[in-house]
Amino acid sequence: MSADPRRADIDRRVLEWMRESRWSYSEKRFEELALELFAFQFEHCEIYRRFCDGRSQTPSNVKTWRQIPAVPTSALKEVELRCFPASDTVHRFRTSGTSSDVRGTLYLDTLELYEASLLPTFRRFMFPEFLLPEDRAAIQVLTPSPIEQPDSSLSHMFGVVLDALGEQGSDFAVENGELLFDRVLTVLVESAASEMPITLCGTAFAFVHLIDHMSQRGVLIGLPPASRIMETGGFKGRSREVPRTELYAELKRVLGIPAERIVNQYGMTELGSQFYDSVICGPSEPRRKLGPPWARVVIVDPETGHEAATGQVGSIVVVDLANTGSVLALRTGDLGRAILDGFEVIGREPGADARGCSIGADEILDRSSP
């Protein structure tokens, strides 16, 4: 918990929301917390204050959370945005990128909100059928562990997920930079034979490696019907780009998991919360990205800076109450479109910087590709 009493109070109230067993998407509650957090960050992050002053958007005239000035996620490569003394830093997450790239850094003085946010969200969108706190699932993660990649927020997230939701045998399937194909295939074959469903998590490119490996060996596995996949990240200049529809078709071919049970997660290092495809929690509804009540998305018309009209493609801006120690409003490098109560990601603008953590893991996997 933060040493600053005002921040500690905000943290406490956000944590309270995150720990509620039933989600309430209260606009009023979000508005109050967001504006309070904005005022706190305006006061305690000098760079952000100057940024807001430059736009003449300050706590005195910002009246709704939708007006909170959003900083571009790409700028974290060049500036440090934090609302606490540097000496209080307990963890750093770094954005992905090749060795020649400048990588952005998110500084944290607590992991409490990050972890409190990710877990119920993952559970809600990946395992909506779980009723009891002790419910567990068999999970294999196709990324390095947080021990191997301590600055990867994705690895950290999966570490928390495995600890809280993984049943015995659940594990990371990348060690020393190599995807452990044999181990993964053994686990998958066992799952198919025992008819015990399994959940696979990883970057989109890790799944491409797995598909390639299985295809080259002529291995096709029919996983039990309740099995599911969570994939995240794009291809970001990788040697191969596979359109998502093609990726999902291949996953169905080699693993027997249909698109309706493949969830794309939209997250990034700079965000404490994540958004997930709705396909498992709302199978009869249109596929769209949904998030927890404490993180909201607004699609902004890049020409005017105002909220885009319904259905109009615009910049995805995320306002995330889990980001109490940095900046809560972030303008991502992605374009999107609002759909019902959620949104879809249209893609990244040309020349956009790499997002998320997948390329870090992917670089390693690329070297171990068959």
Return d(Cα 174, Cα 206) in angstroms, integer. Answer: 10
107 binds other proteins (CB under 8 A): no
304 binds other proteins (CB under 8 A): yes
242 binds other proteins (CB under 8 A): no
- What's the residue count for the chain? 370
- CB of 314: closest distance to other proteins in angstroms? 6
Return d(Cα 158, Cα 145) in angstroms, integer. Answer: 8
Q: Binder to other proteins among 166, 314, 356, 360 (CB under 8 A)?
A: 314
Residue nearer to other proteins on the CB measure, 261 or 355: 355
Single out the segment in contact with other proteins by CB under 8 A; choices: 6-14, 131-139, 153-161, 306-314. Answer: 306-314
Return d(Cα 14, Cα 34) in angstroms, integer. Answer: 10
Q: Binder to other proteins among 323, 331, 345, 365 (CB under 8 A)?
A: 331
55 binds other proteins (CB under 8 A): yes
197 binds other proteins (CB under 8 A): no
DSSP 143-192: EE-TTT-TT-HHHHHHHHHHHHHB-TT-EEEEETTEE-HHHHHHHHHHHH
75 binds other proteins (CB under 8 A): yes
- Cβ atoms of 291 and 274 within 8 Å: the answer is yes
Residue nearer to other proteins on the CB measure, 168 or 304: 304
Single out the segment in contact with other proteins by CB under 8 A; choices: 30-38, 66-74, 83-91, 194-202. Answer: 66-74
110 binds other proteins (CB under 8 A): no
Q: Binder to other proteins among 89, 313, 363, 366 (CB under 8 A)?
A: 313
Residue nearer to other proteins on the CB measure, 70 or 354: 70
Number of residues that bind other proteins (CB under 8 A): 32
CA distances from 175 to 70, 144, 180, 285 (A): 37, 6, 7, 38
Residue 146 main-chain phi, psi, to 5 deg = -65, -20
Give the up-direction half-sphere exposure of residue 49: CA atoms within 13 A in the CB hemisphere: 11
47 binds other proteins (CB under 8 A): yes
Beta bridge partners of 228: 199
- Cβ atoms of 47 and 90 within 8 Å: the answer is no
- CB of 278: closest distance to other proteins in angstroms? 24
Under the rule (CB under 8 A), what is the footprint of other proteins?
47-51, 53-55, 70-72, 74-75, 78-79, 301-305, 312-315, 331, 333, 335, 347, 349-352
